[in-house]
Amino acid sequence: MREAGVRPIATNSPAESRADAVGDRDGVRALLTGPREPLFARADALRRERMGDAVYLRGIVEFSNICANDCLYCGIRRSNRAVRRYRLDDDEILAVAHRMKGWGHGTVVLQSGEVDARRENDRIARLIARIRRETDLSVTVSAGNRSREVYARWRDAGMDRHLLRFETSDPALFAAMHPDCSLAERLDCLRALRELGVQVGSGFLIGLPGETLETLVENILLVRDLDLDMVGVGPFIAHPDTPLAGRPNAWAHDPEICFAVIATLRLVDPDLRLPATTAFDAFFPGVGRDLALRRGADVFMPNDTPARVRGDYLLYPNKPCVDEGDGACAGCVTARIWSLGRMIGEGPGHSPKSLAHAAIS
Ligand code: SAH
């Protein structure tokens, strides 16, 4: 069954359409370094043709900032003692979820720091099940690396999708940034999720210190090879209470490359769900997410975290909407999307690829 707002996929298979589009390493590099306006126009046209004009809303609830990991770039890393740690209880999360339908959000994204403990994994399973029982929202989880067994339990509880960025395709850069995990382990998690029949979202940071153009090219090729349902990318922004404090984004001399990445992803992998991520607004204040939506993106992720804790989930500084009240993002986002001549997608907005993936698994 096809939902409102999702155009039928063209007759060629995703693999064929990818090959038609731009394909190889040289092609991707040429897109990233070539003239920008034609690239943006091409990506926008392809987004309209493949995905339609609907923008799907996935409301993020940052339900805990407690984290056992020490990722060098992240503001809520374990070693940052300046963070006031919190965990919302299930009733408070459910109260937000119940309001989401009225805001036009088809999906709740449960995001948190990473705590791979029995008690926490059980709580997340119970939370997923309760949201599925009490609302008709789709449930996406974004809570880090877990074993296949834990992911299976969350799937059985009703998890539709899981987001886990690979952050960078360069194993040495990944190792330098993540003391607690390797790139191979992260990719194993993505594979396990796919095999379990969960829709898989991943993505990467743009401009980590030490990144080169070749890293970006390889990141995009890895996205294509993983055949993901959704890809979230966003600029690295240095947080003052991390070891990367004060480090410039590797693309400080060419920040527009962030949009070239979005547009290139659309051309390389046309049926991807591509969110205009929050970090775009931090890097390009007030306009970043709108421009991403005009250059290939088709998903928006409003911040639905209760206002009283929003300021405690600062992965990076200058995060937008932190001073807004509960639910404020819901009204603002509708106006933003309409002003772009687009409309809010109805229903869950599952990835068009997920039907093909379900048939294979
Ligand atoms: N713990 C979960 C989810 C929270 S972090 C996980 O690891 O998946 C969500 C995303 O925020 C990360 O994947 C990372 O790409 C991004 N992020 C973290 N710190 C950032 C920073 N300083 N600048 C930009 N994005 C950042």
| pLDDT tens by residue, 228-266 | 999 999 999 999 999 999 999 999 999 999 999 999 999
Name the residue among 259, 271, 276 with its Cα closest to residue 60: 276
Nearest atom (ligand 1) to Cα of 113: 1
Q: CA quadruple 232, 233, 239, 243: dihedral positive or negative?
A: positive
Q: Hey, which of 65, 67, 74, 121 would you mutate to test ligand 1's pocket, going by the most ligand atoms within 8 Å of its Cβ?
A: 74
**Ligand 1 centroid – CA 3 distance (Å):** 30
**CATH class of segment(s) 17-360:** alpha beta
- Name the residue with higher pLDDT: 320 or 110: 110
pLDDT tops 60 at residue 313: yes
pLDDT tops 80 at residue 182: yes
Name the residue among 184, 69, 177 with its Cα closest to residue 117: 69
Q: CA quadruple 338, 341, 344, 346: dihedral positive or negative?
A: positive
Spans of all domains in the chain: 17-360
Q: Say if ligand 1 is within 6 A of residue 167 CB.
A: yes
Global confidence as pTM = 0.93
Q: Say if ligand 1 is within 6 A of residue 177 CB.
A: no
The whole-number pLDDT of residue 13 equals 41
Q: Say if ligand 1 is within 6 A of residue 207 CB.
A: no
Name the residue among 269, 330, 321, 317 with its Cα closest to residue 297: 269
The string of pLDDT tens digits covering residues 258-277 is: 999 999 999 999 999 999 99
Which runs of consecutive H residues, i.e. helices, occur in the chain? 14-21, 25-33, 36-51, 90-100, 118-134, 148-157, 171-177, 183-195, 213-226, 257-268, 278-283, 288-294, 307-310, 328-339, 353-360
Nearest atom (ligand 1) to Cα of 164: 8
C-alpha to C-alpha distance for 283 and 292, rounded to whole angstroms: 12
Q: Say if ligand 1 is within 6 A of residue 351 CB.
A: no
C-alpha to C-alpha distance for 342 and 298, rounded to whole angstroms: 10
Q: Say if ligand 1 is within 6 A of residue 208 CB.
A: no
pLDDT tops 90 at residue 3: no
Torsion of CA 321, 315, 313, 159, to 10 degrees: 100
**Ligand 1 centroid – CA 315 distance (Å):** 6
pLDDT tops 50 at residue 10: no
The protein residue with its alpha carbon nearest to ligand 1, atom 11, reads: 315
Q: Say if ligand 1 is within 6 A of residue 113 CB.
A: yes
The protein residue with its alpha carbon nearest to ligand 1, atom 6, reads: 144
Q: Say if ligand 1 is within 6 A of residue 231 CB.
A: no
C-alpha to C-alpha distance for 227 and 271, rounded to whole angstroms: 10
Inter-residue contact 280 to 258 (CB < 8 Å): yes
**Ligand 1 centroid – CA 275 distance (Å):** 14
- What is the average pLDDT across 305-328? 92
Nearest atom (ligand 1) to Cα of 163: 8
The string of pLDDT tens digits covering residues 16-66 is: 444 444 769 999 999 999 999 999 999 999 999 999 999 999 999 999 999
**Ligand 1 centroid – CA 313 distance (Å):** 11
The protein residue with its alpha carbon nearest to ligand 1, atom 7, reads: 144
Q: What is the mean pLDDT of the chain?
A: 92
**Ligand 1 centroid – CA 2 distance (Å):** 32
The protein residue with its alpha carbon nearest to ligand 1, atom 10, reads: 165
The whole-number pLDDT of residue 59 equals 96
Band (4; pLDDT cuts 50, 70, 90): very low
The protein residue with its alpha carbon nearest to ligand 1, atom 8, reads: 144
The whole-number pLDDT of residue 361 equals 61
Q: Hey, which of 112, 165, 314 would you mutate to test ligand 1's pocket, going by the most ligand atoms within 8 Å of its Cβ?
A: 165
